Structure 1
Amino acid sequence: MPESLRHSIILATSNGTGMGHLARQTSIALALGDRADPILFSMSRAVPLVFELGIRGEYVPSSDRVTLEASVWQHYLADRISALLEETGARVFAFDGVWPYYGIIRARLRHPRVAFVWMRRPLWRPGSNERALDARHRFDLVLEPGDLAATADSGITADLEDVERLPPVTLLSQVDRLPRAEAAEQLGLDPGRPAALVTLRGDEPDGGATRAVQTVLGQADWQVAVTRKLPDIDDDRVVRLHYVFPLARYLEAFDIGVVEAGYNSFHEMLHAGIPTVTVATAAAITDDQVARSHWAAEQGFALSAEEGDPSGISEAVGRLLDPVARDAIRERCAALAPPEGARVAADRLVQLSGNFTRHRIPKEERTEMRRRDWRNVRQRARRLAGRVRHSQSGPSTDAGDEPELVSPVPLVETVTMDELGATPPPEHVLSGTSDNYRRARTRIVTNYLG
């Protein structure tokens, strides 16, 4: 194993509705510094943006990106995790997502000396995703990023005790924020004029994003940065931001914001002290954005509006254009404690990588695994595709005497977001890995996608 890959910590993410999972794991990777070798393992097509920060990693396609039955994909995922763990010698695998995949649980069964951690945000909508919580007993540690709106949490996670709670986890504490003039110039904004940031989704002619921008443009001296194209807005004071990550680095350029009330953007804007309208999106299935947005408004940290009420969004933005209202929000936000969750999480993962010995799988869990025995999946897959071959023990990275295989899907070290949007996406390989690892990955691709 290459020297550079020792003492690795795998930071895995699902592919959520936004950038929250990826942003949190990126902040932890940066907080690890030189104490470990963080490796991202992400289902997000935006992961190439993180590689530009000097963090290594791999993209792994989610089940909807490959032509596999969902149950077969779980075993593909387990094999991908196992191969990466064997190659890197990582002692910790930390997953950020609201639904721990069966493939992760199966990989844990194969690697008793690797600590598996679930990074699970709080503030779940009441009644949502409750079955997923059964998986917490199959992790060696559950870490919960803190939420400023914790007192508004009425979901099932609020009263759990088998969890270590952290301060808020954001990139804000891990990146150097540029001074206003430099940040504005790099984004194509005029640093001498007030600026609004609008990141709402949707491109409807009379939707919330459009109404927010139009309200700001009603003030002759204001300018707006948007993250999505709005077809009915034609004004040279509107700047489109293309794949700017991390946006936290440039927040000094903005005087107000209009953002969804997701964990990442919410905490970045409030901790940065930017007067903001937070809007809960219906696209969030588990995240209780309504509770988070309303809490911020009730406590004076932000204004709140409803996604389905464009007029209400416009009215809230109009209130933010009042300097007195902005000053009041800035004063409230200035009292917030620094968001040190990324540092605390990194400290805990380093500690775990140094003192974890092994986990023991309870008998009842092994019994449940047998119910989902791979032989049944293999039989279904053969009927469907006639191509999947799999070993119960997982992939081996020993070359042995087997013939050289040629991957039916390209194995590549460098990828772009556009390339990851292809169908099927390329098989991304961690840079600097061994020939044995590449052979193992070729076997996995051939078994499942050949």
Structure 2
Amino acid sequence: MAAPRILFYAINGTGLGHLSRLLAIARQAKRLLDCQGRSCDFHVMTTSEASEVAWDFPVYKLPSKTVAVNDAVSARRHAARCKMLISNLVAGIKPDVLVMDTQPEGAFHEFVFLRDYAKAALFIDRRKRREVAEGKVHQSHLGLYERILVPDHPDSAAHYPIASEIATRRRFIGPVHGIREEDWLSPEQVRRTFGARPEQRLVYVSAGGGGDREAETNIHQLVDEVVADPRNLCVVGYGPLYRGKRRYGANVIALGEAEAWRYFRGFDCAFSAGGYNSYQELLAAGIPTSFFAQRKGLDRQDERLAEGRHRGWHRVLAGFDPILIREELTALLDPERADRLRARMAERPRAMGALRGAVALLELQAHVAPSSLDAAALYPAAEAMDLWRRGEVRPITDPSVPFETVWQWHGWRKKTLANRMDLVDEAAAARDRWNRSQLGAEVRPESVCDLDWASWIASRLERWGTDRVTARQLFGRLFKGFDAGAVDQVVRGHFDHLEDHLEPDLLARAIRALHRIERPRETAESLTRLVDAALEGRVPALNLDDPTTWTTDHEEISIVDF
């Protein structure tokens, strides 16, 4: 079947928010497809003057209003030209899903003409001025979308008015940003990268995407005050839309990378514009920041900053007077006040909007178009990916191996290790025989350890859900032959309190492999060795075309402590 065909339409000019948000979702969707070994047919259409940030997808660049409209070209003529180009492009691609952001009607009120060319439409409803959100144009166009995703938390629903008859199409996914936690550089790596001396403080300065008309002036004003103290090393993040002069000096470093967030964990503090993406990325990194508001069309940065300051997440720079800047810098570098900001930021819910948005998008695509995509597998893959990013689950020894590779590796094993109840029965019978051959009715010392491990597995399978073997059935059969008192002890002490998640196929495979272990006393000494032995014990029974290949893979990607 054809690969999922999705067109992302980002309306931007001298801003970057719409494009960055859609790219974050598109990249997560691509990773989820990679997990299933599926290709994608994603396209990006944008009016942003920084279209190069979408380097990993085919990009169709249209001129923005900011650049095209002048004395010779009126806004009406520019809109007419763009409508024709956009309509032809969408008609030619015929996407399964057309994704729009912020303006449901489109930049040129062209969405109603595009809708028939797509099998479904999805809208990212970013927060905007209330008069716009409540307006007839906005509200009437929302009903044309099959799915509406809000990059915010449900407790902010009052800021997103919607008609009751279409409210069921809406889903709050949380803030969206492009950060991949697994790609964050450590503070030590960041300091080495920029050559910071031990006594220097790393201060980050940015005007967001860089397209604001005051960006150059604001950056120079901030840099002047930061570098006045030789103990500060100033790293200036120049967004892809920045067209002004760049600052260079002994303690000034120009950073022009699109993914500046990779360095955020190494900064002691920051000054930044309060645009959506910069705001979410700096808060996610936990960097004490003083934000300043830029005046944009639909984006009320001042409201965002006022709310964040009220919650204690950051400070706000009220103006660019040198005295104000120095006062803010002193406050940000004060250990006690900085720790308070970090503590409040740590209390924020994790921003998983890009990943959740990707799942919702692919679900919609699978519903409206013939596809080999396994929609049911999106949720476990997404949750495992999130755990992987946080470093809580890394079942491989080589950190350079990407998540998608590991997930496919487990999925490939699943084809040869079908979820069969008879294997579970064999495991229980083998345990029962072993118990009877030992010291009569006395429970062996390793029994509780095994039970603890088995209940840990069963609890996770219950949380994930299983198709042919329910967690309760599996739990009961695993414990055949064990002392009833020991089972009750483990169930009451552990089963109902285990909260961690783990990739379910790996756990199920380990359970099914237990009957292959020849030395249960030794392998019960540690959970890590038990799982390793279980996997090694299953190798002879895999019945693959090329067992040597499996052995090589197993050596390269070995299971470690869960």
Shorter-chain-normalised TM-score: which range?
0.5 to 0.7
What is the match of residue 314 of structure 1?
A: 326
Matched residue type, 2:329 = V
**In the TM superposition, what is the alpha-carbon distance from 1:24 to its structure 2 partner?**
0.9
Match of 2:373 in 1: none
Which amino acid counterpart does residue 317 of structure 2 have in structure 1? A
Q: Bigger shift: 23-32 or 75-84?
A: 75-84
2:226 and 2:84 map into 1 onto residues whose CA distance is 51
CA distance in 1, matches of 2:328, 2:355: 35
Alignment-mate amino acid for residue 16 of structure 2: M
Alpha-carbon offset, residue 175 of structure 1: 6.6
Distance 2:221 2:91 in 1: 52
CA distance in 1, matches of 2:58, 2:204: 30
Q: Could you tell me how far 1:214 is from its partner in structure 2?
A: 3.2
1:342-382 per-residue CA deviation (whole Å, 9 max, x = no partner) reads 1111111111112137xxxxxxxxxxxxxxxxxxxxxxxxx
Q: Which whole-Å CA distance do the structure 2 matches of 1:204 and 1:138 have between them? A: 37
* Partner Cα distance (1:87, 1:233) in 2: 45
Identify the structure with the greater helix proportion. 2
Matched, 1:254 2:267: yes
Q: What displacement does 1:90 show?
A: 1.9
Distance 1:235 1:189 in 2: 13
User: Residue 180 of structure 1 contacts residue 191 of structure 1 at CA under 8 Å; is this kept in 2?
Assistant: no
Aligned CA distance change for structure 1 residues 218 and 16 (closer, same or farther; 3 Å):
same
**1:164 alignment partner in structure 2:** 171
Q: Which secondary structure state, in structure 2, belongs to the residue aligned with residue 293 of structure 1?
A: helix
User: Could you tell me whether the CA contact under 8 Å between 1:105 and 1:138 is conserved in 2?
Assistant: no
- Matched residue count: 344
Partners of 1:205 and 1:29 in 2: how far apart? 29
Matching residue of 2:299: 287
Which residue is equivalent to 1:28?
25
TM-superposed deviation, 1:102 = 4.2
Distance 2:184 2:66 in 1: 36
Aligned to 2:232: 222
Residue aligned with 1:18, SS:
coil
Cα displacement string for residues 209-228 of structure 1 (whole angstroms, at most 9, x for unaligned residues):
44432332243321111235
Residue of structure 2 in register with 1:236 after alignment = 250
Write the distance in 1 (CA, Å) between the matches of 2:8 and 2:254. Answer: 31
Aligned-partner Cα distance in 2 for 1:324–1:58: 49
- Structure 1 runs (4+) greater than 6 angstroms displaced: 201-206, 229-234
What is the rounded CA distance, in whole Å, between the counterparts of 1:142 and 1:332 in structure 2?
30
Which AA in structure 2 matches 1:165? F
What residue identity is the alignment partner of 1:216?
A: V
CA contact (8 A) 1:24 1:171 kept: yes
Q: Which moved more, 1:26-35 or 1:78-87?
A: 78-87
Say whether residues 1:144 and 2:150 are aligned partners: yes
1:222-280 CA-partner distances (Å, limit 9, x unpaired) = 111123598797641011222x1122222123121111111111111111101100111
Give the partner amino acid of 1:139: Y
- Deviates further, 288-297 or 32-41: 32-41
The structural deviation recorded for 1:194 is 2.2
The 1:281/1:8 distance shift into structure 2, 3 A limit, reads same
Q: How does 1:158-197 map to 2 (within 5 A)?
A: 162=167, 163-173=170-180, 176-184=183-191, 186=193, 188-190=194-196, 192=198, 193-197=200-204
The question of whether the paired residues in 1 share the 8 Å contact of 2:269 and 2:332 is answered with yes
Greater Cα offset, 87-96 or 195-204: 195-204
User: Any idea what the Cα deviations from partners look like across 1:7-37, whole Å, max 9, x if unmatched?
Assistant: 2211110115432112111111110125233
Query: Does structure 1 residue 339 correspond to structure 2 residue 343?
Result: no
Distance 1:220 1:191, change over 3 A: closer
What is the aligned counterpart of 1:304 among 311, 316, 319? 316
Give the secondary structure class of the aligned counterpart of 1:301: coil
Moved more, 330-339 or 84-93: 84-93
Question: In structure 1, what is the equivalent of residue 473 of structure 2?
Answer: none
> Which whole-Å CA distance do the structure 2 matches of 1:70 and 1:285 have between them?
16
SS at match of 1:138: coil
Q: Indicate whether 1:40 and 2:44 are aligned.
A: yes
Shift of 1:307: 4.3
Distance of 2:258 and 2:246 partners within structure 1: 26
- Bigger shift: residues 321-330 or 170-179: 170-179
Instruction: Give unmatched runs, 5+ long, in structure 2.
Output: 34-39, 370-562
Secondary structure at the aligned position of 1:270 is classed as helix
- TM-score normalized by the length of structure 1: 0.67
Q: Residue 169 of structure 1 aligns to a residue in which SS?
A: coil
Which AA in structure 2 matches 1:44?
S
**Are the equivalent residues in 2 in contact too, given 1:79–1:107 (CA < 8 A)?**
no
Specify the alignment match of 2:447 in structure 1: none
Matched with 1:386 is: none
| TM-score normalised by length of structure 2 | 0.54
Deviates more, 1:61-70 or 1:272-281: 61-70
**Aligned-pair distance for 1:206?**
12
Map of 2:442 onto structure 1: none
Root-mean-square deviation (CA, aligned residues, Å) is: 3.4
The answer on 1:267 being equivalent to 2:255 is no
Q: Report the 3-state secondary structure (helix = DSSP H, G, I; strand = E; otherwise coil) of the residue aligned with 1:116.
A: strand
Change beyond 3 A, Cα 1:293–1:191: farther
Between the aligned partners of 1:264 and 1:204, the Cα distance in structure 2 is 18
Query: How far apart are 1:308 and its partner, in Å?
Result: 6.2
Q: Quote how far apart the aligned CAs of 1:42 are.
A: 1.3
- The residue matched to 1:171 in structure 2 has which SS? coil
State the shift of 1:40 in Å: 1.4
Q: CA deviation at 1:177?
A: 1.5
SS at structure 2 position matched to 1:24: helix
Q: Which of structures 1 and 2 has the larger relative contact order (alpha carbons within 8 angstroms, sep 6+)?
A: 1
Residues 1:238 and 1:322: Cα distance change in structure 2 (over 3 Å) = same
